[in-house]
Amino acid sequence: MTTITHLTSRLQRMKLSRPWAADVTSVGIIATHVECSDGSEGWGFSWTPQIGAEAVAQMLTHDIAPAAVGRDASPGAAWQGMWEHLHEAGGGGITTIALAGLDLALWDAAARRQGSPLSELLGQKRKRVRTYGSGVNLHYTEDELLSQVQRWIDAGFDAVKIKVGRPNLDEDVARVRAVRELLGPDRALMIDANQRWDVPRAVKSVRALEKFDPAWIEEPLRAENLAGHALLAQQISTPIAVGENLHTRQRFEEYVRAGAAQIVQPNIVRVGGITPFLAIADIARDSGVPVHPHLLPELSGQLAMTLAAVGEQEPMTEDVEDAGFAALGALADECPVDITDGWLTERPHAGIGIRFSPQLEKEMA
């Protein structure tokens, strides 16, 4: 059995060229490097925006790295035991975000041992993935928002997502109307409230916005409000999408079984890595719920290539404007994916193909 012999991690911050808010000007990357008893290596990462990166880094160094040594290095084999080991600090959140750093590195090592990209190791089902333009743009003026949407149109995207949840509903209606008019009837429009509403406000808002034919309403309520999402789903016709702030397979299963989500969007890092992401995708598929991975297209796109379609819905990936690792100059190697004309394809690479600059090596351990 090949075992884990060493895990190293390093925190670095990447400045966002387009701040997501006045207090969200960077994202935290905790780059990881795993060494295995057969001499193989793998690179992974944990990720979080403005909050929690230092806590994730400390958990990787003080709790995950020493507990991982000697465990089975096969992809997925160590995950459950490590999650149980960390559970005293919480079943999800900082614990699962940190655990992703180990899990991704182990999957990377496995694919590198095979000399293949991750998608080939998992079983590729398609050669390209539809991608939608996305932005953290609620603070934009209407003119700035429309300029952003026009950039997506010019770049060939046929689907875009914008933020809603202004204090005045009339502002949301005016902004969504203007975006729909610019997009025309044939491009898809998704809207994202980022957990800003309660149930009454969500019902009122979504009903006012449904005339603009949104493909989904994302995170209308606080992610913890399972009962509220189930109730809301009974009162609106727009599909509800959730997942970026759900952290465990168990939580996704509760949402799907309750009819509280018609689309799920697991963030591969926040749920703890590729191992739980695949389990969540299986739960959703078995219930007829489409999966569209949240953010991180450099990784999400590779996994979307391996997911089964649900009915006529193929998985999509999200490309936030000017927030990709390559665009931020963070990668040590060429980006493993390319997004052109609204479609994501892979470039030749091994493993997950994401190593951060400066590259984490054995001698840095």
More confident of the two residues 19 and 158: 158
Kindly tell me the burial class for residue 364, based on how many C-beta atoms sit within 10 Å of its own C-beta (0-12, 13-18, 19 or more).
exposed
229 pLDDT band, cuts 50/70/90, is very high
- The token pair at 21 is 């808010």
CA of residue 63 relative to chain centroid, distance? 24
Q: Which residues contact 224 (CB under 8 A, 6 or more apart)?
A: none
Q: Are 268 and 277 in contact (CB under 8 A)?
A: yes
Q: Which residues contact 200 (CB under 8 A, 6 or more apart)?
A: none
Instruction: List residues with catalytic annotation.
Output: 163, 294
CA angle 129, 24, 248 (to 5 degrees): 55
pTM above 0.75, yes or no: yes
Q: Which residues contact 66 (CB under 8 A, 6 or more apart)?
A: none
Closest to 344 (Cα-Cα) out of 312, 318, 308, 309: 318
The predicted model gives 170-197 an average pLDDT of 98
State residue 239's pLDDT score.
Answer: 98
Asked if the model's pLDDT at residue 258 lies above 70, the reply is yes
Q: Which residues contact 295 (CB under 8 A, 6 or more apart)?
A: 244, 267, 318, 320
Q: Which amino acid is at 364?
A: M
Give 152-205 as a DSSP string: HHHTT-SEEEEE---SSHHHHHHHHHHHHHHH-SSSEEEEE-TT---HHHHHHH
Digit-coded pLDDT (tens) for 68-86: 999 999 999 999 999 999 9
What domains are defined for the chain?
Answer: 4-117+355-364 (3.30.390.10), 120-346 (3.20.20.120)
14 pLDDT band, cuts 50/70/90, is confident
Digit-coded pLDDT (tens) for 289-322: 999 999 999 999 999 999 999 988 999 999 999 9
The three-state DSSP-derived secondary structure of 77-88 is CCHHHHHHHHHH
State residue 364's pLDDT score.
Answer: 43
15 pLDDT band, cuts 50/70/90, is confident
**Gyration radius (Cα) of the chain, Å:** 20
Q: Which amino acid is at 44?
A: G
State residue 362's pLDDT score.
Answer: 61
Does residue 288 sit in helix, strand or coil? coil
Cα–Cα distance for residue pair 66/125, rounded to 1 Å: 37
State residue 236's pLDDT score.
Answer: 98
State residue 359's pLDDT score.
Answer: 77
State the chain's mean pLDDT as an integer. 96
Q: Which helix (H) or strand (E) holds 30?
A: strand 26-36
Closest to 33 (Cα-Cα) out of 134, 150, 112: 112
More confident of the two residues 31 and 20: 31
According to DSSP, the residues that pair with 13 across neighbouring strands are 28
State residue 20's pLDDT score.
Answer: 84
Under DSSP, the state recorded for 364 is G
The predicted model gives 230-255 an average pLDDT of 97
Kindly tell me the burial class for residue 287, based on how many C-beta atoms sit within 10 Å of its own C-beta (0-12, 13-18, 19 or more).
middle
Q: How many residues does the chain have?
A: 365
Asked if the model's pLDDT at residue 363 lies above 70, the reply is no
Asked if the model's pLDDT at residue 365 lies above 80, the reply is no
State residue 22's pLDDT score.
Answer: 79
